[in-house]
A and B are shown apart, each in its own frame.
Chain A
Amino acid sequence: MEIKEITCTVCPLGCKIKVEIEGGVIKNISGYSCTRGLKYATDEVTLPKRTITSSVRAKNGQLPLLSVRTKEAVPKSKTEEIMLELSKIEVKAPFKIGDVVVSNIAGTGVDVVATRNLYEK
């Protein structure tokens, strides 16, 4: 049996939640103080997701970089692949907040969008 310890980030309490897993199935969860914590721990063990924020090279903009993020949270395991894909991209200004920079990044089905209005130089 595997035990995963998760620090809950739902509220400032930061409960240390213990999740017991056997053969990929959750057997027991303990240490949480509320149902939101229970859900957080379950999600963290089954499919942890994060919103990835980063920047890509930009030509002809007021800044040399365009800040971007995944429009929704993506599986945490895809982080490295997403960063590698973003490192190869160079865009051309102008961009507005919300404009799609890469669609379906790393096959996640999630778009990467601009988080800054980048005007032309």
Chain B
Amino acid sequence: MQNYDIVIIGGGPAGLSAAVEAYEKGITNIIIIERDKYLGGILQQCIHNGFGLQEFKEELTGPEYAQKFIDKVEEYGIKVMLESMVLNVSKDRILKIVNPYDGVLDIKAEAIILAMGCRERPRGAISIPGSRPAGIFTAGAAQRYVNMEGYLPGTEVVILGSGDIGLIMARRLTLEGAKVKAVVELMPYSSGLTRNIVQCLDDFNIPLLLNHTVIEIHGKERVEGVTIAEVNEKREPISETEKYISCDTLILSVGLIPENELSKQAGVEIDSITGGPVVNEMLETNIPGIFACGNVLQVHDLADNVSEEARLAASSAVKFIKGNKDLIKSDIIIRAGYGIRYVVPQKINIENIEDKVKFRMRPTNIYTNKILTVRTKNKLLLKQKKQRLTPGEMIEININKKILNDLVKDDEIVFSVEEG
């Protein structure tokens, strides 16, 4: 059995950044396990720009952003195992892996960093009635066809869901000559970034139909059209508003699910809201020595944030290996209060915090001119004015250790949206 100090599962933005950080912190016996033929993960198909503004202070495309990390991995000689699928992870950190070169092999890790990312919600997850013709794609699948394989999935397109990948694909398909007839969004707001609404829809006069959904898919062999309808406050279709749109392609951009099958096998506790592991301030899961970062932990808006989060997971894994193996006793619970959907990390141990701890969260709705508060049962720890909060933009709150110093075991910290 091969032995490594750190095994990183996934060679996308999280895994690459974690590998570079762990190496720079002095742990060199590392391996990245990647199931695709190349490193970079989903960045390789994200050929649009908008990456790197935080990490590199310049605007890059996905492949350019990935290459900056890949160059470092190569420079440091970090071991990479491509076309390799992790089949199982055990509690005692033994990984079972299969690939075309070694067959099945076992690797023992001192620490594991989960960086598997997420996958798209497919048609089956949203129950659209109708037949099952060809021409229905998730946005990411369409993106791979257009940007890496060289195929255009269709010529007349309706996009359901206004997540960022859906918006990006609306522009991409338009530029490649397809007609995007509408982006249909169930919610009263888009979950995409404002800049994507402007540059991907407004620039090309593509209508964004809020409070609408697809209620039927038509066509037997190939999609021939969809019926859309407006929805009421309960998100139920209003029958008088039904409208037929002819199209040969339906693209789904209806959310991402962290890919945690392996984590569950190892006994990692999963947060039912984020779909990712429950972690402490070190991004350690409930299983000692298993850390999580990137979209497998929580779905991020920006790759830059993933890279940053991965550095924390890596430096925590390094601390774990160097003997500080008592990280797990995190006994202060973090809770999402009114207006907040979730907060990561879900628990903290003040002793492990060096100077500050970063919390990431999303609101449940759009709020304007509110105050975001951080409270314990009887004390206001922090408040911040927020002009605008939207579920499409993750909130980041840094809290200094000195604010947290008075807290005792079993205290709760609650993040809420309150009136200004």
Q: Do A and B come from one complex?
A: yes
User: Which of B8-16, B17-25, B59-67 forms part of the interface with chain A?
Assistant: B59-67
B365 interfacial by beta-carbon distance below 8 Å: no
CB contacts (< 8 Å) of A12 on chain B: these are 193-194, 388, 390, 393
Which of B176, B195, B390 is within 8 Å of A9, CB to CB? B195
Q: Give Cα A79 to B176, complex, Å.
A: 11
Query: Which residues in A have their C-beta under 8 angstroms from that of B197?
Result: 7
Distance from A102 Cβ to chain B, minimum over Cβ atoms (Å) = 16
The docked-state distance in angstroms from the alpha carbon of A83 to that of B177 is 9
Interface footprint category on B: 20 to 34
Given contacts A13-B387, A63-B148, contact A115 B63 (CB under 8 A): yes
Q: Which residues of chain B are near A8, meaning CB under 8 Å?
A: 194
Q: Which residues of B contact A13 (CB under 8 A)?
A: 387-388
Quick check: A54 and B175 within 8 Å, CB to CB? yes
The 8 A CB mask of B188-228 against A (1 = contact, 0 = none) is 00000111011100110000000000000000000000000
Q: Would you give the shortest CB distance from A67 to chain B, in whole angstroms? A: 4
- CB-CB contacts of A1-21 with B at 8 A, as 1s and 0s? 000000111001110000000
| B410 CB-CB contact with A under 8 Å | no
CB-nearest residue of chain A to B150: A64
Interface flag for A108 (CB, 8 Å): no
A51 to chain B: closest CB distance in Å? Answer: 5
Q: Which residues of A contact B150 (CB under 8 A)?
A: 55, 57, 64-65
Of B47, B60, B149, B203, the residue contacting A50 (CB under 8 A) is B203
Are A51 and B49 touching (Cβ within 8 A)?
yes
Residue from B61, B199, B390 in contact with A67 in the complex, judged by beta carbons closer than 8 Å: B61
23 interchain pairs, CB-CB under 8 A = A7-B198, A9-B195, A9-B198, A9-B199, A12-B193, A12-B393, A14-B388, A50-B199, A50-B203, A54-B175, A57-B150, A64-B149, A64-B150, A65-B147, A67-B47, A67-B61, A67-B63, A69-B61, A76-B203, A83-B175, A97-B63, A116-B64, A116-B67
B interface, CB within 8 angstroms of A: 44, 47-49, 59-61, 63-64, 67, 146-150, 175-176, 193-195, 197-199, 202-203, 387-388, 390, 393
Which residues of A come within 8 Å of B, CB atoms? 7-9, 12-14, 33, 50-55, 57, 63-65, 67, 69, 76, 79, 83, 97, 115-117
